[in-house]
Amino acid sequence: MKSLKNILSEKKNKRSAVLDDNKLIENAFFRILKEVLPNIVPSDIGDFRLKNRIIYLQTVHPVIASEIWKKKENLKKKINSLLKNERVDKIIAK
C-alpha cells in the first residue's frame, strides 16, 4: 500500500507536467504568431486556453480573430513542426 506522501507526490508531478506542456505550447504559439502575423502582438490576445489539444483564443477585436482564423492551418502546422510532435489539432479564435 502506498503512503499518502507518495500519492501526493505523484499527483503533483503529473499536474506540473501538464502545466509545463501547456506553457510550452503557448510559447510556441506566440513565437509562430509573431512570424506569420507580425502585426498581432500578445496583448491582442485576451485569453489563451488549451484543452484537449485545441487552442482557444479570445481576441480583443474581431478583425484580429479573423486574421488568425485565415492562417489557423498554417499556424497549427508550424507549431507542431516546432514542437516536433502533433500536439495541436485545432485553433479556435473568437
pLDDT band at 3 (very low <50, low <70, confident <90, very high): confident
CATH of the domain at 57: 3.30.300
**Cα 37–21–2 angle (5° rounding)?**
170
Split into its structural domains, the chain has a count of: 1
* pLDDT for residue 78: 94
- pLDDT tens-digit profile of 18-74? 557 888 999 999 999 999 999 999 999 999 999 999 999 999 999 999 999 999 999
Q: Is the pLDDT of residue 86 over 60?
A: yes
Domain enclosing residue 54, as ranges: 4-93
Does residue 11 contact residue 65 with C-beta atoms inside 8 Å?
Answer: no
pLDDT band at 81 (very low <50, low <70, confident <90, very high): very high
Ranges assigned E (strand) in the chain: 45-51, 54-59, 90-93
